[in-house]
Amino acid sequence: MSDLLARLRARRWRLTAQRRVVAQVLDGDHVHFTADEIHARAAALLPEISRATVYNTLGELVAIGEVLEVSTDGRAKRYDPNAHHAHQHLVCDSCGTIRDVHPSVDPLAGLPAAERYGFTVSRVAVTYRGLCPDCAARSAADPAADSAPARAKA
């Protein structure tokens, strides 16, 4: 993943300081940041970077397949740097934590031809939902205060 910059150069991208810091933020932990979280972290490295540039750069990275867009809640899209290893997501309904998971069978195989209605089906996104161990413990201790998803963490 660290040769992302090399791949971008190969695509004749102009390597600006702004694009470098966005790539650097994505290269950190394999988490699932929102665009504005990425902007905040990028701005820590290059204070004058604008929100528009972060959105533009993310949009381009998604278009060329270097980053995936993930919409697990109805809120901000999250950007997934783990684009080169197919996986799905497991989300906590209470705290919003997101984990990468790897189903045992290709989820595309579960859709019979009769259920495809002539579509050319090429991708599938699976979001498993439930409670993470921490939130399950907390809600066992205090049966109220449930289902108020805080901001997602990972």
Partner DNA sequence: CCCTACCTTAGACAGTGTCTAAGTCAACAG
Partner DNA sequence: CTGTTGACTTAGACACTGTCTAAGGTAGGG
Query: Contact positions toward a second copy, by CB under 8 A?
Result: 69, 71, 73-74, 77, 90, 92, 99, 101-105, 107-108, 110-112, 115-133, 136
Distance, CA of 112 to CA of 85 (rounded, Å): 25
Least distance to a second copy, CB of residue 110, Å: 4
Sole binder of Zn ion in the list 89, 94, 98, 152 (CB under 5 A): 94
Sole binder of DNA in the list 1, 17, 64, 121 (CB under 7 A): 17
Of residues 15 and 121, the one with the C-beta less far from DNA: 15
Q: Which residues pair with 33 in a beta bridge?
A: 79
Sole binder of DNA in the list 48, 106, 115, 142 (CB under 7 A): 48
> For the chain, first and last CA: distance in Å?
19
Alpha carbon dihedral 129, 37, 61, 92, in 10-degree steps, equals -10
Closest CA to 87 of 16, 32, 33, 150: 32
Q: Any contact of residue 53 with Zn ion (CB under 5 A)? A: no
User: Which of DNA, Zn ion, Mn ion, none binds 95 (CB below 5-8 Å, type-dependent)?
Assistant: Zn ion
Angle (CA) 76 82 88, round 5°: 70
Least distance to a second copy, CB of residue 73, Å: 7
Tell me how crowded residue 25 is: count the other CB atoms within 10 A of its CB: 23
User: Which of DNA, a second copy, Zn ion, none binds 119 (CB below 5-8 Å, type-dependent)?
Assistant: a second copy
